[in-house]
Amino acid sequence: MPRVGVFVCHCGTNIAGTVDVPAVTEWAKTLPGVVATSDNKYSCSEPGQASIRKVIEENRLNRVVVAACSPRMHEATFRRAMVQAGLNPYFLEIANIREHCSWVHGNDKAMATEKAKDIIRMAVAKVTNNEALFPKTIGITKRALVIGGGITGIQAALDIANAGHEVVLVEREPSIGGHMAQLDKTFPTLDCSACILSPKMVDIGQHPKIKLMNYSQVQKVSGFVGNFEVEILQKAKRVDYSKCTGCGTCWQKCPQKVDSEFDVGTGKRTVIHIPFPQAIPAKPVIDWAQCRYCKFLDWKAAGEQGKKPPECRVCEKVCPVQAIDFNQQDQVVTEKFGAIVVATGYKTFDPAVYEEYGGGRLPDVITSLQLERQMNAAGPTGGEIKRPSDGEHPRTIVLVSCVGSRDAQKGRPYCSKICCMYNAKHAIMLKEHDPGVQVYVFYIDVRTGGKDFEEFYLRAIDEAGAVYLRGRVSKIYQDGKKLVVLGEDSLMGQPVEIAADLVVLAAGMEPNIGAAEIAQTLHISYDTYGFMVEAHPKLRPVETNTDGILVAGACVGPRDIPESVAQGSAAAAKAVGILSQDSLTVDPMIAQVDPAKCIGCLLCVAVCPFKAPYSETTRDKRTIAVINEALCKGCGICVAHCRPKAINLHGFTNQQLLAEVQALW
C-alpha cells in the first residue's frame, strides 16, 4: 500500500504570499493514499529537509510529494533526503507550485490556491504509481580527441595531457598553429605571435601523452560519452615520417612553386613543403595534386595524351634518408575516446562579394591577414610593406572596418569582435614600419571591450596619429595609381574622399571550411552561419547538448586569442572531469523497449535526436529496437511515436501520466 506524504513549502513569501499554504496542507490530507502532510518555511534548507526525514520515518512513508519550486532547482536535493531516510529516490515527485503557480498568478490568491491543489493532486496520483529505479554505471575510455590544432586546440590538448590523460590532436593542415601562426604581432601587448606560440607548438610535438595527427580529418563518429569510436582519415603525405629527419633538402630543391596558403596568396611555397619555418611537425608533406610527378603519372595513365610533363622526382633523388614514398595512400584509422574537444576555428570572410570595393580585382585592396604576412619579418616581403601592384611603399593607407561584419546585406549581420582591435594594431604597426605613412580608419563603432583595449586604441591615435573617420565606406575605385575611397564622416555629416596608396579590408570571422560537416558528423548543433551551438551561452559555454563533446574557441563564435585560450582550457577541464572518473552513472529515467511488443518498424531509430535506439535481431530472427542506455536522454519522442506502445519511459510511464491526468477530473 502506498503511504504518501505531502510537504508544502512556503518558500518565504514566494509561494505563501500567493497560495494559502496552511489551507493546502490541511486539504492534502484528504487525498487518496496520503497519510501525512506538513508545511515548511524553506523545505530545501537543512532544518526543512530534517523535518521531512522525520515525518517520513514517523509515518513509515513510502511515497513523497514535495510541493515547492521547479524540479530543476531542488529535485536532486529532495532525492538525497529520500536516500537519507532509507527510501528509493525515485519514489519522489515534485509539485511545482512556484514557477507554475504562485509566480505567475500573483494577482489572484483564491485561484492560485485552487491551482496549487490541482498540481498537488496530480503529483499524488502519479507518485502512487511510481516504481523504484536504479541508476546504472558504464565504463570510460580515458583518452581525449582534440579536433583542430590552432591555439585553442593546442591549449586544450596540453591541459588534458598535463592532467595525465592521453590525447590525440587531429589537424587538417600539414602543421598545427592555425591563424595565430600567421599573425605578426598580437594586441594589446604587441607580443610577437610566433614567439609566444611556438613553445606551445613544440610542447605538443614532444609531449609523451600527445599523439599528433597532422594532414588528417575526422570522418565518422559513433558511440557516446566515455565511449566514442572515431574514424580518422590520414591523408597521404607521400613522406615516410619514420625516416624523415626534417632536414629541409627536399623543399629547398623542389622546382615547383605554387601560391602559399599560409601567406594568403602573397607569397609562394614549394609543392613538397612545411607551411612555415616553425611548423610542427617539422616534416614536410607533398601537395600531391600540384606535384609534377603526380601530373606525369596522370598523363601516363591517360594514355600519354598531349604534352609530356616532366617526371621530376627531385625530392626523391635529394632525400638523404629515402623518406619520399610516392606510393603512400590515404589511410583510415579507428580510435576510441572518452571525450572530444572541437576547436575547428575560423576563416576570414572573403571580401570578393563586395563588388563596390572592387570585388577582389583591385590589386592594392588587400585583407588584414595579407597585411599581417607583409608586416612579418619572415613573410614574403621580409617585413616590408609594399603595394602589390608596383611594389612601392604606400604613404596613405586606409583601413576599412566591418567588411563582412554587421552587414546583413552580405549575410553577416554579427560583429566579428576582433577587427577594431587589430585595426588599431595595424595603425600602430604601419607607423612603426614607416614613420612617413598616414593611416585612416573608417569605423562604425570602435569596440574596445577588453583588458587594456581602450588604452591600446588610444595609442593608435596618440602615437601613430591615425585619423578615425566614423562611417562605412561605400565605394573604392582605381584612379590612376591611386585608390579613391568614398565614405562619409558621419560626425561632420559630409562626404569624405581619400586618395589612398593601399586599402586594407578588415575582413570578419566566419566558421572554418567544413565546420558544418564536422558538426553533422558529431551530431551537435550549429547556427545559420555554421558556428557551433553551446549547451548554454552563459552557464555552459564549452559544452554541447551531446554529453562528452565540448566546443571551444572561434568555432563557436568570434573570439580573440585570450578568449580562445581560456575556452581551450575550459573545455580541457570539462574533458578531464569526464576522464578522471572510473565510471559514469546513467540516469535511470530513460526509455526501454519491450521486445515482446516491438514490431521492428524502427520509427524510433528515425525520430531520436540522440541516436539512442538501434536495431537488433532476436534469437527467433525478429528485428527489434533496442535503446542505448548511455545515449538516451529520456525525452520521450520515441514513446510518442511507438505505435504498438512497446516503449516505456521509466519515471514517466503511460500508467503514471494517465493517473496524473485523470486526477484532474
Partner 1 sequence: MKSTSTYAYYPGCTLKTTAREFDVSTKALCGALGIRLLELKHWGCCGASSAHGTDHLLALALPAREIASASQMGWPLVAVCAMCFSRLKHSEAALHDESMRNKLSGIVGKPLPASYEVLHLLQVIDNMRDRMPVTRPLSGLKAACYYGCVLVRPKDVSRMDDVENPQIMDRVIRAAGAETVDWNFKTECCGAGMALPHTDIMLKLSLRILNQAKQAGADCVVTACPLCFANLDGYQKQMKKTFGSDPEMPVFYFTELIGLAAGISSERLLINKHTTDAMSLLKNKGLAGEPVHA
Partner 2 sequence: MTLKTITPVPHTAFRDQIEKLSGENVARCYQCGKCSAGCPVSFAMDLAPRRIMRAIQLGLKEEVLASTTIWLCVQCNVCSARCPREIEVARVMEACRLVFQQEKFKAGDRDTMLFHKLLLDSVRRWGRLHELDLAASYNLISGHLTANMGLVPGLIARGKLAILPHREARSEVKKVIARVEAEHRKDKAKAGGKA
Footprint of partner 2 on this chain (CB under 8 A)? 356, 402, 406-410, 444, 470-475, 486-490, 493-496
List Cα–Cα distances, 1 to 4, 60, 63, 149, 373, in angstroms.
Answer: 9, 11, 10, 61, 78
Question: 361 contacts which partner out of partner 1, partner 2, none, CB within 5 to 8 A by kind?
Answer: partner 1
Is residue 479 near partner 1 by the rule CB under 8 A?
yes
In contact, 340 and 571? CB cutoff 8 Å? no
- Cell 607521400 sits at which residue? 238
Q: How far apart are CA 552 and CA 156, in angstroms?
A: 9
* Helix pair angle (561-579, 151-162), 10° resolution: 30
Please pick, from the candidates 255, 359, 465, 609, the single residue that binds partner 1 as defined by CB under 8 A.
359
Q: How many CA atoms lie within 13 A of 109 on its CB side?
A: 11
Is residue 393 near partner 1 by the rule CB under 8 A?
no
Locate 119 and state its grid cell: 498540481
Please pick, from the candidates 136, 209, 475, 482, the single residue that binds partner 1 as defined by CB under 8 A.
475
* Helix residue ranges per DSSP H, 146-192: 151-162
In contact, 367 and 264? CB cutoff 8 Å? yes
Amino acid at 265: G
Question: 359 contacts which partner out of partner 1, partner 2, none, CB within 5 to 8 A by kind?
Answer: partner 1
Q: Would you say 241 or 477 has its CB closer to partner 1?
A: 477
Please pick, from the candidates 54, 268, 308, 361, the single residue that binds partner 1 as defined by CB under 8 A.
361
Question: 470 contacts which partner out of partner 1, partner 2, none, CB within 5 to 8 A by kind?
Answer: partner 2
Q: How far apart are CA 91 and CA 76, in angstroms?
A: 13
Closest CA to 280 of 151, 167, 148, 176: 176
In contact, 528 and 414? CB cutoff 8 Å? no
Is residue 477 near partner 1 by the rule CB under 8 A?
yes
In angstroms, what is the minimal distance from the CB of 437 to partner 2?
A: 23
In angstroms, what is the minimal distance from the CB of 362 to partner 1?
A: 8
The region of 181-189, 476-484, 571-579, 640-648 touching partner 1 under the rule CB under 8 A is 476-484
CA 17 to mean position of chain CA atoms:
43
In angstroms, what is the minimal distance from the CB of 459 to partner 1?
A: 35
In angstroms, what is the minimal distance from the CB of 127 to partner 1?
A: 58
Please pick, from the candidates 208, 435, 449, 480, the single residue that binds partner 1 as defined by CB under 8 A.
480
Question: 478 contacts which partner out of partner 1, partner 2, none, CB within 5 to 8 A by kind?
Answer: partner 1
Amino acid at 90: Y
DSSP annotation string for 265-305: TSSEEESEE-SSTT-SS-S-EE-GGG-HHHHHHHHHHTTS-
Cβ neighbours, 10 Å, residue 192 = 15
Is residue 188 near partner 1 by the rule CB under 8 A?
no
CA 44 to mean position of chain CA atoms:
35
Question: 543 contacts which partner out of partner 2, partner 1, none, CB within 5 to 8 A by kind?
Answer: none
Q: Would you say 461 or 486 has its CB closer to partner 1?
A: 486
In angstroms, what is the minimal distance from the CB of 511 to partner 2?
A: 20
In angstroms, what is the minimal distance from the CB of 400 to partner 1?
A: 16
- Cell 565614405 sits at which residue? 487
Is residue 108 near partner 1 by the rule CB under 8 A?
no
The region of 235-243, 295-303, 477-485, 520-528 touching partner 1 under the rule CB under 8 A is 477-485
Contact residues: partner 1, CB under 8 A: 355-356, 358-359, 361, 475, 477-480
